[in-house]
């Protein structure tokens, strides 16, 4: 892709959008377009349409979303459904109406059925029931995938959906009320260490298996999708390997240096038993992750230590 191409990164201040912005800047892209939510409310259709008409981006990367872990999804189902649909629908439709030929939509592995065979293949979409604790977010993202697929089918445009596995990394959200499992564990183990290595209580049994991708690797996958015309509409993005939540906790505990006990609260939900992505389609095209989990956790904890007085607190 030409380095002068005008690319709109929606959600550039989030962990994912920020990583995409940094990767594109390092690659020499000089015509990047972005707006803070205070400047452009992506939930406002008229505002989004006016922005597209005025700025006329050539390419759109949709990294904007309302996100959170099990607790946030459970407690706030309506905004997780409605706000995500508003954001993506406004972006996708405005892109179509203003002649944007390339659109990259970012979703989540939670779009796949709770009990789908492992590893998760793209063709498993809509074959069974979703995980109840995050179905609101999943349904919104599924509608975005289908909107992009419909545009490809009807208009022949290069609109592609990338479904990352569980993401983590620098600039993550460490707010214990709304964060995902990995950054929440980093904060819990760090604060327990600071308090004399007191025990850490974690949700569930520790037996579910999860896959984790360092956010910079997802940004590289977006760059790959920008530089290539991908032949299909939906691609999984991950590492292809997983581990139990218990193993994750022990890995983070070592990285942080916490020496106390871990207590598992089995009265709390585990979520989906296993969620491993089949990433063979992206591998066949030539993309592969670079950062392994131990290294990624160490990088994330290092960033956390440097920024712990400025937690990204999410108000719900």
Q: How far apart are CA 5 and CA 66, in angstroms?
A: 27
Whether 137 sits among the annotated catalytic residues: the reply is yes
> Do 85 and 107 touch, CB atoms closer than 8 A?
no
Instruction: Mark out the alpha helices in the chain (DSSP H runs).
Output: 15-26, 45-55, 70-75, 77-97, 135-155, 181-194, 215-227, 245-256, 280-285, 293-307
What is the C-alpha separation between 63 and 3, in angstroms, rounded? 20
210 is in an annotated binding site: yes
By C-alpha distance, which of 11, 137, 15 is closest to 76?
A: 137
Cβ contact 159:233 at 8 Å: yes
Cβ proximity of 213 and 164 under 8 Å: yes
84 is in an annotated binding site: no
Is 202 annotated to bind a ligand? Reply is: no
Cα(274)–Cα(201) distance, integer angstroms: 21
Of 112, 137, 168, 235, which residue is the catalytic one?
137
The verdict on whether residue 167 carries a ligand-binding annotation is: yes
Q: Is 77 annotated among the ligand-binding residues?
A: no
Q: How far is CA 149 from CA 39, 176, 239, in A?
A: 30, 36, 25
The answer on whether 270 is annotated among ligand-binding residues is yes
164 annotated as belonging to a binding site for a ligand = yes
Would you say 141 is a known binding-site residue?
yes
Integer-rounded Cα radius of gyration of the chain: 19
11 labelled binding-site residue:
yes
To which residue do tokens 């008409």 refer? 53
Annotated binding residue at 17? yes
Q: Is 197 among the annotated ligand-binding positions?
A: no
> Is 166 labeled as ligand-binding?
yes
Residue 106 assigned ligand-binding role:
yes
93 is in an annotated binding site: no
Closest CA to 221 of 63, 71, 88: 63
108 labelled binding-site residue: yes
Kindly list the catalytic residues. Answer: 137
For the annotated binding site for NADP(+), the residues are 11-17, 106-109, 141, 164-167, 180
For the annotated binding site for substrate, the residues are 188, 203, 210, 270
For the annotated binding site, the residues are 11-17, 106-109, 141, 164-167, 180, 188, 203, 210, 270
């Amino acid at each position: 892709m030409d380095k002068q191409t005008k690319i709109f990164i929606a959600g550039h201040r989030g962990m994912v959008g920020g990583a995409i912005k940094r990767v594109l800047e390092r690659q020499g892209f000089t015509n990047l377009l972005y707006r803070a939510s205070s400047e452009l409310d992506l939930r406002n259709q008229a505002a989004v349409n006016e922005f597209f008409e005025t700025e006329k981006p050539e390419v759109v990367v949709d990294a904007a979303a309302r996100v959170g872990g099990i607790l946030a999804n459970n407690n706030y189902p309506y905004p997780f459904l409605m706000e995500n649909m508003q954001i993506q629908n406004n972006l996708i439709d405005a892109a179509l109406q203003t002649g944007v030929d390339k659109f990259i939509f970012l979703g989540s592995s939670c779009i796949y059925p709770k009990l789908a065979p492992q590893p998760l293949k793209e063709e498993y979409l809509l074959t069974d029931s979703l995980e109840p604790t995050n179905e609101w977010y999943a349904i919104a993202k599924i509608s975005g995938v289908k909107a992009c697929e419909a545009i490809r089918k009807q208009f022949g445009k290069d609109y592609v959906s990338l479904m990352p596995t569980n993401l983590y990394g620098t600039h993550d959200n460490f707010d214990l009320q709304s964060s995902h499992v990995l950054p929440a564990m980093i904060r819990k183990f760090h604060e327990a260490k600071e308090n004399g290595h007191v025990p850490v209580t974690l949700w569930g049994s520790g037996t579910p298996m999860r896959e984790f991708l360092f956010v910079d690797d997802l940004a590289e996958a977006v760059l790959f999708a920008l530089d290539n015309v991908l032949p299909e509409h939906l691609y999984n993005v991950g590492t292809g390997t997983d581990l139990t939540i218990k193993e994750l906790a022990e890995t983070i505990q070592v990285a942080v240096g916490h020496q106390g006990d871990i207590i598992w609260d089995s009265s709390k939900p585990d979520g989906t038993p296993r969620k491993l992505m089949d990433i063979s389609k992206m591998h066949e095209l030539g993309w592969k992750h670079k950062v392994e989990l131990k290294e990624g956790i160490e990088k994330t904890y290092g960033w956390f230590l440097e920024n712990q007085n400025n937690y990204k607190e999410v108000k719900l």
